[in-house]
Amino acid sequence: MALPIRYSSLRKYVLIGAAGPALALSGCASSGKLSKADKHFLRGEYEAAIPLYQADAAKKTGPAAALASFRIGEAYRLSNRVGQAEPFYKTAFDGKARNADLSYRYAESLRANGKLDEAAALFTTYAQSGTNRTLAAHADAEAHNALASKELLGKAPSYSVAPLDAVNSPSSDFSAARMPATGELVFASGRDGKPYPGNGERYTALYAQKFDDPAAMTGGTPRKLDPIFNNDKELQASATYTPDGKTMVFARSNDGSKKGYKSVDLWISYYHDGAWTTPVLANINDRTADDFSPVFAPDGTTLYFASGRKGGQGGNDLYKATLGSNGRFSAAENLGETINSVGNDNFPGVAPDGTLYYSSDGLPGYGRLDIFEVRGGKPVNLGPGVNTAADDFAPFFTGPGTGVFSSNREGGKGSDDLYTFKKRNRKVVIFYADGTVLERDEKAGTNTALPSQTVTITGANGQPREVLTGPDGKFTAKLDSAQSYALLANHPNDFTARASVSTIGRYPSQDQLTEPQTDIRIPVTLTLTKIVVNKAIEVKDIFYDYDKFNIRPDAAIRLDTLVQLLQDNPKINIELSSHTDQRGKDAYNLKLSQRRAESAVAYIVSKGISKSRITAKGYGETRPIVKNPKSEADYQRNRRTEFKVTRIDK
């Protein structure tokens, strides 16, 4: 049997395997045969099962009718509509339906509908019953949460909230992100999907929208992302990008087939040579559980995500992993019991200053999923306005204190809609780059300021702007918050200088600001080095395996810097030389080094550099850096690659 997704409004990924529905039906069929409703239920087709169970409840009396009502409640719960399950659980509870966990499930539905005292009482009774040790521990925590939620009532809103009408549709729209290269808002939507049998809504795909007015987020028309990201047989959602726009991670569901993947998983794609690669499974998935709602932190390497894997605190837990330079993630790390609750903790978001936000239904709140901010290592409810009795989730920040989140609150266009939020009464921070341009003369050992030097500054939107240095070689440029910039300077007979500046993660918290406006100045230096013809320059970390001449993946990354240098300096011609260690015969090493040099040149040419600008030269073991190597590391230092400028064209 294929494993469907429990995904209310096609967004809260939670795998429903055979165990969940089977337990709900266990001991229920007195005849030993499954009804048509039961078969739909076991297949996860809850929308089809509900009216059949309702017909059964209308026909039957006593325990049989109560049991049918319980199954209706379970169908709503398992399709993540636990609030709608309340009247059916009540009927089952009053009719004394035989199910050991009925009172716990009924309490869940009461809490979801804001009936906190009743929910707390039922949770407490269940916790004392000892029926299910795991659920009993959860029930004790849930009873505390239900009572603590009452203390939040009457809290003043800290955020202004408005629907994002330019994007929202009658279908489900949720989980926003920003595509760095284009500035488009990327989101998941069911507007063109086929109906999903779990809850009657539609399969979701990834869309992008460029606003006519980006600041106000108005106007524009959504476009569906490329087919490599969208499969009509599966659900796609929750895209996230590294700040440089070169890596994308998103969630994709099982396809409902017996041969398909049986869980929700994270998929990864790389922007390479002007196009996105076909997504592949990220190496942090747990194939026995659901992994979903990924989001990159501003550092571009930390990925937060939710998972239902074993070993967590309760339902879904939050995890993090680090993306390495080889495109693979470190082992996933659970964020621990301070962050994760006995409920579902998911849909993380990260503010420009690195503060973690996420959604949870296992902490004191206003209804089902609420959004929390981690302050001092502990979750703090964002309060009314952002949070309601409905599901409020997936915060995405467009700037300090501003962004977009998702909610299925009343009054929207669809089951899930996107809403903008803005922190009220925020103090303003303005960022500046304070730069200096120097010219380095290696022979003289001097650095000289360059006046009237043009510096090109390019942000994530790809639009360059230019500033000039003053008589002292200095310049100032205003920067946006939560952005990364590339800076470039060219000067005749010098190597092009590059530098980067980022305001991501630099925004202070509001309690650190003492003035209505604070200027933050970020120093940056661009050093243009004079080109010395025929001077050897080592390309760091271009290593070869012993007796090999193929380009290793780590070497390819380093050779890309030489490609960039040749692109930045189109008038230079170079000799690229390769060196071996002292092991092996001289003649063989000479041939091996020549092959290594030619292999490196071939790689560079494959990136669009003219072959006429590069000469490959192998020197064998004749020019070692470590003349008397004593370790493998010493030998590897001698297996290196260098280049020197041989000519500068006019």
Q: Where are the domains of the chain?
A: 5-152, 159-423, 428-529, 537-648
Between strands 280-281 and 484-489, the pairing is unpaired
Which pair of tokens denotes residue 320?
């993090």
Level-2 CATH architecture, domain 159-423: 6 Propeller (2.120)
pLDDT of residue 260: 54
pLDDT of residue 509: 81
Q: What are phi and psi of 127, to 5 degrees?
A: -60, -35
Give CA–CA dist 471/450, Å, rounded.
8
Give me the amino acid identity at 79: S
pTM (global) more than 0.85: no
Whether the per-residue pLDDT at 193 is higher than 60: the answer is yes
Bigger pLDDT: 344 vs 24: 344
Give CA–CA dist 113/571, Å, rounded.
70
Give CA–CA dist 303/295, Å, rounded.
6
Give me the amino acid identity at 53: Y
DSSP 152-181: GTTPPP-EEEEE-TTT--SS-EEEEEE-TT
Burial class from Cβ neighbours inside 10 Å (0-12, 13-18, 19+) for residue 265 reads buried
The residue-averaged pLDDT of 1-13 equals 31
pLDDT tier, 10 (very low <50, low <70, confident <90, very high otherwise):
very low
SS3 481: coil
Q: Which fold has domain 5-152?
A: 1.25.40
* Angle (nearest 5°) at CA 525 between 507 and 354: 20
For 360, half-sphere exposure in the C-beta direction (CA atoms, 13 angstrom radius) is 30
Of 425, 533, 527, nearest to 469 (Cα)? 527
Whether the per-residue pLDDT at 431 is higher than 90: the answer is yes
Residues contacting residue 157 through CB under 8 Å, at least 6 positions apart: 383, 384, 385, 386, 424
Bigger pLDDT: 49 vs 10: 49
pLDDT tier, 515 (very low <50, low <70, confident <90, very high otherwise):
confident
pLDDT of residue 546: 67
pLDDT of residue 427: 80
pLDDT tens readout for residues 117-130: 898 999 999 988 87
pLDDT of residue 27: 46
Which pair of tokens denotes residue 142?
């849930």
The residue-averaged pLDDT of 160-177 equals 95
Helical ranges in 442-572 per DSSP H:
553-568
Q: What are phi and psi of 78, to 5 degrees?
A: -70, -20
Cβ atoms of 210 and 218 within 8 Å: the answer is no
- What is the widest separation between alpha-carbon atoms in the chain? 99
Level-2 CATH architecture, domain 428-529: Sandwich (2.60)
Q: Render the burial of 415-431: b for 16+ CB within 10 Å, e for the rest.
A: bbbbbbbeeeeebebeb
pLDDT tier, 194 (very low <50, low <70, confident <90, very high otherwise):
confident
Residue 475 falls in which region: left (phi positive, over 0), alpha (psi -120 to 50) or beta: beta
Whether the per-residue pLDDT at 638 is higher than 90: the answer is no
Mean pLDDT of the chain: 87
Cβ atoms of 466 and 454 within 8 Å: the answer is yes
Whether the per-residue pLDDT at 185 is higher than 70: the answer is yes
Q: Which fold has domain 537-648?
A: 60s Ribosomal Protein L30; Chain: A; (3.30.1330)
Whether the per-residue pLDDT at 3 is higher than 70: the answer is no
Compute how many other C-beta atoms are within 10 angstroms of the C-beta atom of residue 167.
22
Of 348, 374, 123, 145, nearest to 251 (Cα)? 348
Of 10, 83, 87, 1, nearest to 44 (Cα)? 1
Cα 385 to Cα 165, 350, 381: the distances in Å are: 17, 19, 11
pLDDT of residue 42: 86
pLDDT tier, 30 (very low <50, low <70, confident <90, very high otherwise):
very low
Q: Render the burial of 314-329: b for 16+ CB within 10 Å, e for the rest.
A: bbbbbbbbbbeeeeeb
Whether the per-residue pLDDT at 424 is higher than 70: the answer is yes
Of 154, 82, 80, nearest to 111 (Cα)? 82
pLDDT of residue 2: 23
The residue-averaged pLDDT of 422-430 equals 84
Number of residues that make up the chain: 650
* DSSP 8-state assignment for residue 226: P
The residue-averaged pLDDT of 551-580 equals 88
Give CA–CA dist 482/400, Å, rounded.
8
Whether the per-residue pLDDT at 12 is higher than 60: the answer is no
Whether the per-residue pLDDT at 4 is higher than 50: the answer is no
pLDDT tens readout for residues 302-342: 999 999 999 888 789 999 999 998 889 999 999 999 999 98
Compute how many other C-beta atoms are within 10 angstroms of the C-beta atom of residue 477.
19
Cβ atoms of 619 and 579 within 8 Å: the answer is yes
pLDDT of residue 32: 56
Give me the amino acid identity at 7: Y
pLDDT of residue 29: 44
Q: Percent of the chain beyond pLDDT 70?
A: 92
pLDDT of residue 514: 83
Give CA–CA dist 190/199, Å, rounded.
13
The DSSP element (H or E) to which 474 belongs, if any, is strand 474-479
Whether the per-residue pLDDT at 262 is higher than 70: the answer is no
The residue-averaged pLDDT of 378-394 equals 92
Q: Render the burial of 534-553: b for 16+ CB within 10 Å, e for the rest.
A: eeeeebeebebeeeebebee
